[in-house]
Amino acid sequence: MRAAKFASSKLHGVKLQRTFATGSSPLLPSDRSLAAERSDGLQQLQVESAEVQKFSQLAEDWWNPTGPFRPLHQLNPVRCKFIRAALCDQYRLNPAASRPLTDVTILDVGCGGGLLSESLARMGARVTGIDLSAASIDLARAHATMDPQIAKSVTYQAISTDGLAQQGRSFDVVIASEVIEHVDHPPAFCRSLADLTASSGTVILSTINRTVRAYALAIVAAERVLGILPRDTHDWSKFITPGQPPSRFRQGGTPYASGMSLDVASGRWGLSEDLAVNYIACFRAAARHAQASQPS
């Protein structure tokens, strides 16, 4: 009841829009690929190929602000402001400077067309963007060449987090924004994020919270009723809650978690105290200990 009441107050007065072709097929269990086993017994994290395909098909539209990725375009300024504030606070940087993240290395996991990567590069960061969709990476590279300053500051690779970790790479900040809800094994995914983070570095996650309200609002409302997101973008069972801190992380402190909410009528996102639907949170990577290989 409560979820319905909340949903209706946000839905009032909204124009319905179809933003996705109705010919797409829903995700069926049989489409999911199994996670492969690595020779040393650790389960290799593999985002389902069908999930990746969903995004590859839309790759051309990444940079269209009125296309199927419109909510991400609308969300981007808010999540960037949060990231900027959190990192400036964390690393004692000057938030009023024009490029406060100069010399900070950032990994953008699930970078897609490079929406977040480019914004972070504009703030001075040296960004590496990775995605399993080769089509998205190609598009991201092409887009980055348009601005010489961006081209110097961002590199893209079509690779998984495990693949990158195997190369021995590590970053000051690892960001997985609007990704974890598409991943098959969130705990293992979080482990791989921690592997890529420098000691006492930072991991930032933004995702949809797993509550009934999130389900009602995000999936039902956004996908089915409003057509804001392409249908079947989100699968409820994959949402994680901020109350489940992945074992390798500890929370960086109260200012570092924030809700993000969409006022559907005006199309504007804002930071809010309501963590119940979308949220973004910043975690300090724990110092390295001898590794236990149990999933958390």
Partner 1 sequence: MVGTALAAALGSNPLTASMKIVLLDRQSPADLEQGLSPVPESRNSALIRALSRRLPSSLTSLQPASVQSIHLPGYSNKDQQGGSQLATISLEDGRHLRTRLLVAADGARSRMRSLAQLRTVQWMYNQRGLVATVRTAEPHATAWQRFLPTGPLALLPVRHGFSNIVWSTSPAQAAELEASSPMGFVAAVNQALQEPSDQTPSGLASLQGLLQRGQQMPQPPLVSELAGGSPKSFPLALCHAGRYVRPRFAMIGDAAHAIHPLAGQGVNLGFADVSCLAQALAEACEAGTDIGSLSFLEEHYERPRQRANVSMMAGLDLLKRLFTPQEGLLANMRNLGLDTVNIMPAVKQQIMKYAMG
Which residues lie near partner 1 (CB under 8 A)?
60, 63-66, 73, 76-78, 80-81, 84, 96-99, 118-123, 139, 142-143, 145-148
Looking only at the bridges linking them, the beta strands covering 278-285 and 257-263 are: antiparallel
Residues 6+ away with beta carbon under 8 Å from 78: 260, 269, 270, 271
The label of the residue with tokens 């590794």 reads 291
Nearer to partner 1, 209 or 278 (CB): 278
Collapsing DSSP to helix, strand or coil, 166 comes out as helix
182 in a known ligand binding site:
yes
Q: How far apart are CA 61 and CA 198, in angstroms?
A: 34
Nearer to partner 1, 122 or 185 (CB): 122
Q: Which two tokens stand for residue 190?
A: 């979080």
Q: How far is the CB of 202 from partner 1 (least distance, A)?
A: 17
Nearer to partner 1, 188 or 228 (CB): 228
Residues 6+ away with beta carbon under 8 Å from 286: 194, 248, 249, 250
Q: How far is the CB of 268 from partner 1 (least distance, A)?
A: 9
Q: How far is the CB of 159 from partner 1 (least distance, A)?
A: 24
Q: In whole angstroms, how far apart are CA 196 and each of 85, 161, 172, 199?
A: 22, 8, 9, 9
131 in a known ligand binding site:
yes
Q: How far apart are CA 137 and CA 76, in angstroms?
A: 18
Q: How far apart are CA 153 and CA 164, in angstroms?
A: 19
Q: How far is the CB of 95 from partner 1 (least distance, A)?
A: 8
177 in a known ligand binding site:
yes
Nearer to partner 1, 246 or 259 (CB): 259
Q: How far is the CB of 86 from partner 1 (least distance, A)?
A: 13
Give the chain's length.
296
Nearer to partner 1, 78 or 190 (CB): 78
Nearer to partner 1, 64 or 167 (CB): 64
Neighbours of 268 (CB within 10 A): 12
Residues 6+ away with beta carbon under 8 Å from 211: 241, 276, 277
Q: Which two tokens stand for residue 72?
A: 């991400």
37 in a known ligand binding site:
no
Q: How far is the CB of 83 from partner 1 (least distance, A)?
A: 9
**Which residues make up each annotated binding site?**
79, 110, 131, 177-178, 181-182
**Which residues make up each annotated binding site for Mg(2+)?**
178, 181-182
**Which residues make up each annotated binding site for S-adenosyl-L-methionine?**
79, 110, 131, 177
